[in-house]
A = this chain, B = another copy of it.
Amino acid sequence: MSSSRFPISLHILTLLNEAKGGVVSSEYLAGSININPVLVRKEIMNLRKHGFVDSKEGKGGGSFLAKNASDINLGDVYKAVRSNHVLGQSKNEPNPKCPVGRQINQHLDSLYSDAENALIDNLSKQTLADFALKFE
């Protein structure tokens, strides 16, 4: 999925945190992020799957944080939304007849994992609560 999943998810979480436990509709969230409500609902589906948020159906429904903002660290949010590696997808198929092409994806993958872990470690230093503090 797209490279804007992380910012969208973090935006959603920030708004829900601001709502202080209150329920927020996908319409409202979409309005702040400036994207389509259906995309918000899809992203919320994922955040819910990972236990960050929960939703209430029906009139007056919407979403809300499922845990304390200080218990949501940004590394975990990143892990919840990443689909392909940061450094590039290895879904391209190099020439198996070339000694380099034949092996490169495996080497790239391990390179990616290492680098991505460094990224995640960095993100994990911050919680949603820390991030939200910046908006005051």
Contact = CB atoms under 8 A, between A and B. Distances in A.
Interface of A: 2-8, 10-11, 14-15, 18, 31-35, 74, 78, 84, 86-90, 92-95, 98-101, 103-104, 107-108, 111, 114-119, 121-123, 126, 131, 134-135
A103 B18 CA distance: 14
Interface on chain A toward B: helix, strand, loop, or mixed SS? helix
B135 A100 contact: yes
Contacts of A11: 94, 100-101, 104
B115 A123 contact: yes
Nearest to A75: B115
Given A3-B84, A108-B7, A32 B101 contact: yes
